[in-house]
Amino acid sequence: MTDEQIESIVTEVLRRLLPKMGADGSRGTVLVVLTGATVRYTEAVDQLRGLIQQGFELQLVFSDMAEHLYGSWMRGQLAGFPHWSHWTDYGWLRSLREARAVVVPLMSVNTLSKLALLMPTARPET
C-alpha cells in the first residue's frame, strides 16, 4: 500500500467515526487565527482536532505568512475531520460576531507584544 492509499483510508475512517463520537459542530463556531509563528505548530493541530472532537465547528483564518509556511499542511492534517472550513475574506464581520470564541493557537512573542499594546500587527498597504 502506498502512503496516499493509507492516508485516504484513515481520512475516510475519521469522516465516518468522529460524528458518532460527538464531533457534530453543535457547540458553536470557533474562529481559529493562525499567524506566521511556527514553534510547536504540530501541537496546535492536536488542539484543533480536540476542539472538533468536543463538538465545535472551526473556521480557519491564515495570515499570509501562515498560509505560505504551513497552510496546505495544516488543512491536510485536518482532512477527514468534520466541521471545519477555511475562512474566506467575504462575510468576515458576520462570522466574527457569530463565533463563540476566537482562538490563536500560535503566536510569536513579537505579535503578542504588539497585541498587548494594541498596536497593529501589519503595516497598512500604501
With a pLDDT cut of 70, the percent of the chain lying above it is 88
For residues 101 and 126, give the distance between their C-alpha atoms in angstroms, rounded to a whole number: 32
Question: Which domains does the chain carry?
Answer: 3-107 (3.40.1260)
Mean pLDDT of 16-29: 81
More confident residue, 84 or 120: 84
Span 57-76, pLDDT tens digits = 999 988 888 899 999 999 99
Amino acid identity of residue 113, one-letter, is S
Best CA proximity match to 74, nearest among 34, 37, 108: 34
The whole-number pLDDT of residue 126 equals 44
Half-sphere exposure of 126 (CA within 13 A, CB side): 1
